């Protein structure tokens, strides 16, 4: 009887599919509304044949070994897999699978929403109104910046970055710049996008939207020096991975007026925020909800379940990283 451990509660769609595909399996789920610490995870999941984890579960080489030799598949409830020691998994013959494509639209919606919310100052406008500070319409009240026709810089030319670019181009008539290791002729043809170096993108863009994976090369890609290149009227949006931005440098830049605002859904030391970030009025801070629609989260669960079922029944999973 295979043993499947799930590190956080997931939508019922995942467990229902596991029950159909592996009716004899023992499925256990972390009962707490929090991530397990290392010792707890090892105790709970030791001897499992399959692990469904989240991006908040750091699976290093020794932890993977401690889970036992029976482990055959790790299905991460995310697109990114920087929290998993891939070489250790590969050396032990463990398949690692992720959930690409399904969360493209949901995350792009959040990125676009953050641009608009920052430019038009939705969050502090909401606070003003709730606190009783709104006393009536006035010509100088709560002015922000427009979005239509502005320049949007996309850092990372993947699925989500392209969807954001297309939305801003076709929906708001924006000029699109992008920074990527590779040329994307389809972007240039479909969107009239221009590939530029990161420095030029930061200097020219009214909105900078981050969509790159977290790697050693992208950690603190946006640091104090890069922030100094941005316009004082510009907005930085991050729906990628928190450590792509030096958060302490961001706080300093926002306080100094080097940029106008920031909209973040991910954080460098998540869930903790850099000191001073939460106190700023020119930021919109979301609790990592890029993929948080009922439809998307349910399908992510099904994708993890399909990966587990495939590996444990001797088939090749569809979205295998290694």
For the domain spanning 3-102+294-312, the CATH number is 3.40.50.720
Give the H/E segment covering residue 53: strand 50-53
Out of 241, 302, 306, 319, the active site residue is 241
Active-site annotation holds for 92: no
pLDDT at residue 286, rounded to an integer: 98
Task: DSSP letter for 159, please.
Answer: H
Q: What residue segments make up the domains of the chain, in order of their start?
A: 3-102+294-312, 104-285
Mean pLDDT of the chain: 97
* Average of per-residue pLDDT across 265-274: 97
Contact 187, 202 (CB under 8 A): no
CA distances for 160 relative to 24, 27, 40, 110, 246, angstroms: 38, 32, 34, 11, 22
**CA angle centred on 95, ends 240 and 243, rounded to 5°:** 20
- Going by pLDDT thresholds of 50, 70 and 90, the confidence category of residue 137 is very high
Judge: domain 104-285, CATH 3.40.50.720: yes
Instruction: Indicate if 104-285 has the same CATH topology as 3-102+294-312.
Output: yes
- Going by pLDDT thresholds of 50, 70 and 90, the confidence category of residue 271 is very high
Q: Tokens for 294, please give them.
A: 């009922």
Contact 119, 261 (CB under 8 A): yes
47: left (phi over 0), alpha (psi -120 to 50) or beta: left
32-71 CB burial, b ≥16 within 10 A, e <16? eeebbeeeebeebbeebbbbbbbbbbebeeebbebbeeeb
* Average of per-residue pLDDT across 126-147: 96
Active-site annotation holds for 319: no
Out of 109, 145, 270, 320, the active site residue is 270
Active-site annotation holds for 241: yes
pLDDT at residue 248, rounded to an integer: 98
- Percent of the chain past pLDDT 70, that is, above it, reads 100
Computed on alpha carbons and rounded to an integer, the radius of gyration of the chain in Å comes to 21
Of 48-52, 152-156, 197-201, 212-216, which range is least confident? 212-216
pLDDT tens digits, one per residue of 1-31: 999 999 999 999 999 999 999 999 999 999 9
Out of 142, 219, 220, 288, the active site residue is 288
pLDDT tens digits, one per residue of 96-116: 999 999 999 999 999 999 999
Whole-structure pTM value: 0.93
Of 137-146, 181-190, 223-232, 285-294, which range is least confident? 181-190
pLDDT at residue 97, rounded to an integer: 98
pLDDT at residue 46, rounded to an integer: 97
pLDDT at residue 85, rounded to an integer: 98
């Amino acid at each position: 009887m295979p043993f499947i451990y799930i590190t956080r509660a997931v939508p019922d769609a995942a467990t229902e599919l596991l029950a159909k595909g592996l009716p004899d399996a023992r499925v256990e789920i972390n009962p707490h509304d929090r991530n397990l610490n290392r010792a707890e995870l090892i105790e709970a999941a030791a001897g499992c044949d399959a692990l469904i984890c989240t991006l908040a579960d750091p699976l290093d080489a020794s932890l993977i070994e401690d889970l036992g030799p029976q482990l055959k598949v790790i299905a991460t409830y995310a697109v990114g897999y920087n929290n998993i020691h891939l070489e250790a998994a590969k050396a032990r013959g463990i398949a690692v699978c992720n959930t690409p494509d399904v969360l493209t639209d949901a995350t792009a919606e959040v990125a676009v929403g953050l641009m608009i919310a920052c430019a038009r100052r939705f969050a502090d406008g909401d606070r003003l109104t709730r606190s009783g500070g709104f006393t009536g319409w006035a010509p100088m009240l709560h002015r922000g910046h427009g979005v239509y026709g502005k320049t949007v810089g996309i850092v990372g030319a993947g699925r989500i970055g392209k969807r954001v670019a297309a939305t801003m181009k076709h929906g708001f008539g924006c000029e699109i710049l992008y920074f990527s290791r590779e040329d994307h002729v389809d972007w240039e043809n479909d969107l009239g996008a221009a590939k530029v170096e990161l420095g030029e993108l930061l200097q020219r863009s009214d909105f900078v939207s981050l969509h790159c994976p977290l790697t050693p090369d992208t950690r603190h890609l946006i640091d104090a020096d890069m922030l100094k290149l941005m316009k004082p009227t510009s907005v930085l949006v991050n729906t990628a991975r928190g450590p792509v931005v030096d958060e302490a440098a961001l706080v300093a830049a926002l306080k100094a007026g080097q940029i106008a605002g920031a909209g973040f859904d991910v954080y460098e030391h998540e869930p903790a925020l850099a000191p001073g970030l939460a106190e700023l009025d020119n930021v919109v801070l979301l609790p990592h909800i890029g993929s948080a629609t009922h439809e998307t989260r349910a399908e992510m669960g099904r994708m993890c379940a399909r990966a587990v079922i495939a590996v444990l029944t001797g088939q090749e999973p569809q979205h295998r990283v290694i």
